[in-house]
Amino acid sequence: MSASTESALRAPSPVPRSEGGWSLWVRQALAVFRLEVKKNFLGRRAFLIYLLAGAPVILMAAMSVELGRSDDARIVFANLYEGLILRTIVFFGCAWIFMNLFRGEVVDKSLHYYFLCPLRREVLVAGKYLSGLVTSVVLFSFSTAGSVFFLYFSLRSGSSTQATQIGVSHAMAYVGVTALGCLGYGAVFMVIGLFFRNPMIPALIAWGWEFINFLLPPVLKKISIVHYLHSLVPIPVPEGPFAIVADPTPAYLSIPGLLVLTIVLLMFSGFRIRRMEIRYGGE
């Protein structure tokens, strides 16, 4: 962002009373969204995200022949989805996208351009979060859908009859879980990027908490995002012999719970950004 882009965020002067309030905030949030989503897809930090999103598709394409001969291809894919796509690609991809929404601006010494605009900072948070959410959902949903396609292709081309059990419902379920993962993890990492000067340490702590979720007692399992995502996948995978078993949370609680968590974290982000001061020299 440069000084020339400030005009995209400025309100008309004078602003008629009828165009103030929510109408103005929505237009400004959409202006921020347009600026940010272009950077997310085409900026210099986007290359790593494309590599992450393409990795499971390439892996599934390479494994497609062997999967077609397997009697447990659906279970193999379920393990690959939870272990690689959900817990690794989506987690670290969202960390990279959402932590850089503000932290990247500070590193690039460009955040002050936004702060100089006649723009509520909560609106800035909303626009940036929406841009990160669209970027992550588009890339990682295509990654998930491409992986499911190669699974279906392998089963159709093999001797297995499992292809009849892999349909649109499974594909939509996996894509939906991926989108919810982007929703929840995105809000978490936006908060981390705003509250911590070095966000890598809290991000690794968050990853460790999600990683050991299977070892936690049932009450603590629910203080994580992966527990609710695991409850929503069409084919839940066993968590291992050392796992502490907990009942999955039903969809009618998991989905609203993730939405409420996202809203609360965005409120924290808005609270933080209102009190944020820029000190480029300390970065």
Tens digits of residue pLDDT in 125-135: 999 999 999 99
Q: What is 73-121 written as a DSSP string?
A: HHHHHHHHIIIIIIIIIIHHHHHHHHHHHHHHHHHTT-HHHHHTSS--H
Q: Which residues contact 237 (CB under 8 A, 6 or more apart)?
A: 75, 78, 79, 82
Taking each helix axis from N to C end, the angle separating 46-68 and 121-157, rounded to the nearest 10 degrees, works out to 20
pLDDT range class, residue 106, cuts 50, 70, 90: confident
Q: Which is nearest to 27 in space by CA: 45, 14, 44, 9?
A: 9
State mean pLDDT over 198-226.
90
Question: Which pLDDT belongs to residue 4?
Answer: 46
Distance CA 267, CA 85 (A): 28
Helix 73-80 to helix 46-68 angle (10° resolution) is 160
pLDDT at residue 235 above 70?
yes
Mean pLDDT calculated for residue range 231-260 = 86
- pLDDT the model gives residue 215: 85
**At 283, is the pLDDT very low, low, confident or very high (cuts 50, 70, 90)?**
low
The pLDDT assigned to 2 comes to: 52
Distance, CA of 99 to CA of 189 (rounded, Å): 5
Range from 12-21, 146-155, 176-185 carrying the lowest mean pLDDT? 12-21
Q: Give the residue-averaged pLDDT of 137-149.
A: 93
Token readout for 95 is 């960390």
Q: Over 60: is that where the pLDDT of 16 sits?
A: no
In the structure, what pLDDT confidence band is assigned to residue 166 with cuts at 50, 70 and 90?
Answer: low
